[in-house]
Homo-oligomer: A and B are copies of this chain.
């Protein structure tokens, strides 16, 4: 695997290894990596056929380029397209996609290539994990959120009417390719939403990276080396956590910083992306997690203030009042949190922080404590 890192000019491509014994893989990061990715696929998986799964947006924007790169590299590929948006993470699309992959004659040594955002990655990753009891998956994430979060770590899945991501599998990809030039076509709103997850890694355990974000965020948006650095830093952080705790039995839960609140808000806004997309909910969740920590006397008001100020400067929401149409009452929010799968026998688990870069898992937070905090947020900030 190191041979790759040496062969590529350092400035152009960053290789982040994910160390998971026989399930180890590389994340390749850089601009204009599609043809290089096709070469890597052809050499690492000789003879494998590929099915590209993508959504209708990416089918126009980037699938043709990937297909011509694969063709040049001698890889036979077919394309399967799903509608964009969270509603594609459904049982119905799952069974359609599985049947589509079978119709495309994808066998156990072949590949599924997920070209898209987290929706395409989660759905096609789950399909790949169960097709013939598991075929290889290559993730080519096209949204910032997917590049820094969902494509790495092997979580795949679909939603049920009982909640998000409740049906799924751990299925590590065989390769992840983050072509940061693909993000040039992403809407500003989606880019910012993904950026909330970038900031999260600084807040978890890398205060220096948070400092860097405060200074460099505009250049991350514009593209160029800062964008690649941000994606690589996020991937390295996620890879390290996943390597320590592949199946979230322990401190992988740190990655849920901001997410207990975020999932509740997404649930209360009925996953209506017109109102709130995941990363926006995370931005509010990060701000709340730090203010909650402050209120519990764990974290300074200065740190909590910096977190919200940076996210707001970028143009992300940071308060419950920022949810279009409102998030509901404190009871609604607590109720929505207790339906989350991170609930263990009634007690709520939060990720809290002693400061920027000092997050920790706090299991067993009483629902009343959370309720009081949320109520104060709703009152104080009207």
Q: Residues of A at under 8 Å CB distance from B?
A: 47, 91, 94-95, 98-99, 102-103, 107-109, 126, 129-134, 155, 157, 160-163, 166-170, 247, 341, 343-345
Contact = CB atoms under 8 A, between A and B. Distances in A.
A249 to B, nearest CB: 10
A133 B157 contact: yes
Contacts of A108: 341
Contacts of A160: 98-99, 102
B167 A131 contact: yes
B107 A162 contact: no
B168 A103 contact: no
B103 A166 contact: no
Contact of A134 (B91, B132, B169): B169
A343 to B, nearest CB: 8
A241 B344 CA distance: 37
A344 B47 CA distance: 12
Q: Which 5 A-B pairs give the minimum distances between C-beta atoms?
A: A91-B95, A102-B162, A133-B168, A130-B167, A98-B167
Nearest to A129: B169
Nearest to A155: B133
A341 B107 CA distance: 8
Given A162-B103, A344-B107, A133 B169 contact: yes
Contacts of A102: 160, 162-163, 166
Given A91-B94, A103-B162, A130-B130, 14 more contacts: A91-B98, A98-B166, A98-B167, A99-B162, A107-B341, A108-B341, A109-B344, A130-B157, A132-B166, A133-B155, A133-B168, A133-B247, A134-B170, A169-B169
Contacts of A133: 155, 157, 168-170, 247
Contact of A130 (B109, B155, B168): B168
A170 B94 CA distance: 19
20 contacts: A47-B345, A91-B98, A95-B95, A98-B166, A98-B167, A99-B160, A102-B162, A102-B163, A102-B166, A103-B162, A107-B341, A109-B344, A126-B130, A129-B169, A130-B130, A131-B167, A133-B157, A134-B170, A134-B247, A169-B169
Contacts of A155: 133
- From A103, A107, A161, A167, name the one whose CB has the most chain B CB atoms within 10 angstroms: A167
